[in-house]
A and B are shown apart, each in its own frame.
Chain A
Amino acid sequence: MIEIKNLKKSFGSNLVWEDVNLDIHDGETLAIIGKSGCGKSVLMKHINALLTPDEGTVIVDGHDIFKLTYVDLRILRQRFGFLFQGAALFDSISAYENVAFPLRYFTKWKEDQIHKRVMECLDMVNLSNIGDKSTAELSGGMRKRVGLARAIVLEPDYLMYDEPTSGLDPETSDEINDLIIYMSESLKITSIVVTHDMHSVLRIADSAAFLDEQKLSWYGTIDELRISKHKRLLEFIKASEYQIG
């Protein structure tokens, strides 16, 4: 359970958003939607304290994450998986090592245990034959999937996706969407997806939060979204459908 309370953030004199209140329940998949540059990724980076707000706070399972010590915060962060927009793979090591990376530092596992877990995760994202390829040899979709495998390798409770389908062809996007559904259904992971792809929102999300005009403009379930009369939201949905269609 993640509670976002009265959050306000500005960069210098530019206000990003204020008055953001949002509850994310265990097991649900929340989509944060909005136009480019409206601060969707910024909001998500507050959830595991990669960024600090000007006002307000985020409470994860009863802990105010901005009041935790750095050591405690880092332990808490291990319960989050984070798939970055460009996958953020470490380019100095191979794809396999990227997935094995958290295991090597956070577990005292033997090499065969690590290998077993890494192959398990790579299987889940359908990349079991990736071997020792360097990250530079991977396509965009493969990078995202390696990133996802790395995000789930420590068996997190929460998974955060930053634009998981952006820059991918529709077929690969669908594969990623399937993976997100698989993660939340089979692993019971709470997911937060930042996207402006309405197609994938309607497929994967249980609820949606619409960031617009520097505030949380609309919040509700997907069923409510389909019948919503919110003017700006309808405009946004229409524009993205036109884009898809």
Chain B
Amino acid sequence: MDILHDFGRYCKLLYQAIRSSTEIGTYYKNLFAEMIKTGYDSLPIVMLAGAFTGAVLTIQTAYQLVVSYIPLSTIGAIVVQSMVIELAAVISGLVLAGRVGARIATELGTMRVSEQIDAIESMGFNSVSFLVVPRVLASFFMFPVLYIAAATCGILGGLLAGIITGQVPMADFMKGGREYFFAWDIVFGLTKSIVFGFVITSVSCYKGYYATGGAEGVGKATTNAAVLSCIYVLLTDLLLAAILL
């Protein structure tokens, strides 16, 4: 019952958000502030995560592929394709579930328990369009940007790791990478990143928006938002792979 109740309220919040997404004047300012906080401010951590994932992937694949007749270019193919299809979106999704999800849940939760959301409503604002819409919409624009950053850094990181450790020369890496570099994979990765962004921000908004019970309630909402975002990122990842691949 609780699950149904939660799901119902979540859908209602989404419905309200969609309905109030026309009130651009209300959320215009917040939208750009959120795009900065979600996208611009998250760039360093996402790029770092991407680069290290790519580097580790190269080194580990080189370590695992000990059979001599498998060409070195295979490593490039594995790193590039894994980054583009899966890792750039999922790693940045998981990092941002913590970073963005927790921030959103804390912000909205604090506003809820300190009656700021009531204050917004009582002034005659639509609190959903004021708070939820810009956050979800910002992710729609910024998550693809973060995906591009993560994928680029991941491929560069993998390439650099191969060169520095001397295990994969640049020519081999690029040859393999190019051979398995398909436009559809990028479309798939971008789709994933947008869906992850939506899942993370909407779940976190829901958790924060309906937080109850003072500071402890905010803490609970934050934890729940981060954990649930991670779980839903992984679940939708599986779902999208099943549907789109």
Contacts and interface: CB of A to CB of B under 8 A. Distances in A.
Contacts of B122: 48, 50, 77, 80, 82
A90 interface: yes
B123 interface: yes
Nearest to B33: A92
A48 B124 CA distance: 10
B116 interface: yes
Given A50-B121, A50-B122, A82-B123, 14 more contacts: A48-B122, A74-B124, A77-B121, A77-B122, A77-B123, A77-B124, A80-B122, A84-B119, A90-B111, A90-B116, A91-B116, A102-B123, A105-B125, A106-B124
A78 B123 contact: yes
A86 B115 contact: yes
A82 B119 contact: yes
A85 interface: yes
Taking chain B's interface residues, is the majority helix, strand, or loop, or is none over half, making it mixed?
A: helix
Nearest to A160: B122
Contacts of B124: 74-78, 102, 106
Nearest to A101: B123
Contact of B114 (A48, A76, A88): A88
A242 interface: no
Nearest to B25: A105
Contacts of A75: 124
Contacts of A105: 25-26, 125
10 contacts: A48-B122, A50-B122, A77-B121, A82-B123, A84-B115, A85-B115, A88-B118, A90-B111, A91-B110, A105-B25
Given A70-B126, A74-B125, A45 B118 contact: yes
B116 to A, nearest CB: 5
A86 B214 CA distance: 12
In the complex, the 3 A-B pairs of residues with the closest C-beta atoms, listed nearest first: A88-B119, A78-B124, A82-B122
B149 to A, nearest CB: 27
A53 to B, nearest CB: 16
